[in-house]
Amino acid sequence: MRLNEVTFSGRPPIDGYGPGVFSIGGYAHKGGLLILPSRIGQWTPADLITPACFADVIAAAGEIDILLVGMGADIRPLPRDARDALEAAGIGVDAMATAAACRTFNVLLAEDRRVAAALIAV
């Protein structure tokens, strides 16, 4: 079987994640994280996720085709109003456990997809 080296088109992949921390491009980031095509920053939604939690994502809608939402250690659904706001902005959204979101982000990034992630730390 031939193995190909994975390359990322200028955007850093998620190198790792652990209790309360993510490593991206060799840098540690504590707490929840928002990864947009143009920047990486903290993301700390309240206990109840609302459309307002995704204001920065919606503002960058022209750069994003899909948003992966890491919901923490377990999978849980994204509230309908938040999903509707993202889809109205033309952004596809998929909610999953944070570990799965990290892995999926890297796969889509390697495919040069226009992907973003909002990750609740585990």
Supply the pLDDT for residue 67. 99
Q: What percent of the chain lies above the pLDDT cut of 90?
A: 84
Please check whether residue 9 lies inside any domain of the structure: no
Predicted confidence (pLDDT) per residue in 12-67, tens digit? 999 999 999 999 989 999 999 999 999 999 998 877 899 999 999 999 999 999 99
pTM of the model: 0.93
Please check whether residue 5 lies inside any domain of the structure: no
Q: Which tokens in the block code for residue 90?
A: 């033309």
Q: Which tokens in the block code for residue 56?
A: 């920065």
Please check whether residue 8 lies inside any domain of the structure: no
CATH number at residue 73: 3.40.1230.10
DSSP state of 29: E
Please, which residues have CB within 8 angstroms of residue 111's CB and are 6 or more apart in sequence?
A: none
d(CA 83, CA 118): 13
Report which secondary-structure segment, H or E, holds 98: helix 98-110
Report which secondary-structure segment, H or E, holds 59: helix 55-59
Q: Which tokens in the block code for residue 65?
A: 């085709």
Please check whether residue 25 lies inside any domain of the structure: yes
What is the residue range of 47's domain?
Answer: 14-119
Q: How many structural domains compose the chain? A: 1
d(CA 41, CA 67): 15
pLDDT confidence bin for 6, thresholds 50/70/90: low
Q: Any idea which residue has 């993510």 for tokens?
A: 22
